[in-house]
A and B are shown apart, each in its own frame.
Chain A
Amino acid sequence: PMQQRSIEFFFRGG
């Protein structure tokens, strides 16, 4: 199955 990643996983805090 496909897992939905969170957007924070890719764009860490700035």
Chain B
Amino acid sequence: MFEARLLQGGLLKKVLDSIKDIITEGNFDCSPNGLSLQAMDSSHVSLIDILLESEGFEHYRCDRNIPMGLNITNLVKMIKCAGSEDIVTIKCEDKPDNVTFLFESKDNDKISDFEMKTMTIDDEHLLVPDQTYTAVVKMPSAEFQRLCRDMAAIGDTVNISVTKEGVRFSTTGDMGTANITVRPNPSGDQKEEERTEVQITEPVSAGFALRYLNSFTKATPLSPTVTLGMVPNLPIVVEYKIADMGHVRYYLAPKIED
């Protein structure tokens, strides 16, 4: 059986908010290491990879690997019924037809349980190579969100080019062009999460669909910083770390000159 108790139930809401616009169903894999999800969007252009490590839960028991296929839209509806301060317990049997969500209010004066039907999802599991990134950019997540929103107001595709001087985001649309350069500022007085840091072994540049990048920024409430990893001619990774718990990562295939 599987049973996991999470003290910060609000975290589950944030995780679901970060994926609900991209996927409609997914297999949550329960394993002794934690709860994970890998799923592609319907156009198979991007890949979501979530990990919630077992150590991040107050109580975690998983005897064997259990795939828990869930409709994300319905899951959002159920998790919305939890208060943001509630403690959430997720429970299911080894071959589950249903999964149970138990919500306990912080003061222990209200207990709710919801049972949701599982579904069989037959999706291909992709193999993400263990990559050394040519360029890694760490920046405030709110700034990245703003930047993607601004770029999407002008064009559909953004060219991201990273040099040791900084990261240049460029787009072109019917009304004109836009360029935003973010420079590394590691020596200032900023707190760590306010800094922009760039690590590169060689300059890298590629084009990406802004519609997807904008969807990824729905994960902004999960982390004060976001990390972009790039390798020439390979998908970009956009990573939001979840403190003491794991991550939400998005991989997006580049646009390639025909």
Give me the interface of A with B, judged by CB distance under 8 Å.
Answer: 1-14
Contacts and interface: CB of A to CB of B under 8 A. Distances in A.
A6 B44 contact: yes
Given A8-B126, A11-B47, A14-B127, A2 B253 contact: no
Contact of B258 (A1, A10, A12): A1
A13 B129 CA distance: 11
Contacts of A1: 258
15 contacts: A2-B157, A3-B257, A4-B45, A5-B45, A5-B254, A5-B255, A5-B256, A6-B44, A7-B253, A9-B253, A11-B47, A11-B126, A13-B124, A13-B127, A14-B125
Interface in B170-201: none
A13 B125 contact: yes
Interface of A is mostly: loop
B132 to A, nearest CB: 16
Contact of A8 (B44, B209, B252, B258): B44
B51 interface: no
Give the size category of B's interface with A: 20 to 34
Given A2-B157, A2-B207, A12-B127, A7 B40 contact: yes
Contacts of A4: 45, 209, 253, 255
A5 to B, nearest CB: 4
Given A11-B127, A12-B126, A14-B125, A6 B253 contact: yes
A1 to B, nearest CB: 6
Contacts of A8: 40, 44, 124, 126
B126 A2 contact: no
B1 interface: no
B240 interface: no
A3 to B, nearest CB: 5
B253 A10 contact: yes
Contact of A7 (B46, B125, B157, B255): B46
A2 B124 CA distance: 27
B253 to A, nearest CB: 4
Residue among A1, A5, A7 with the highest chain B CB neighbour number at 10 A? A7
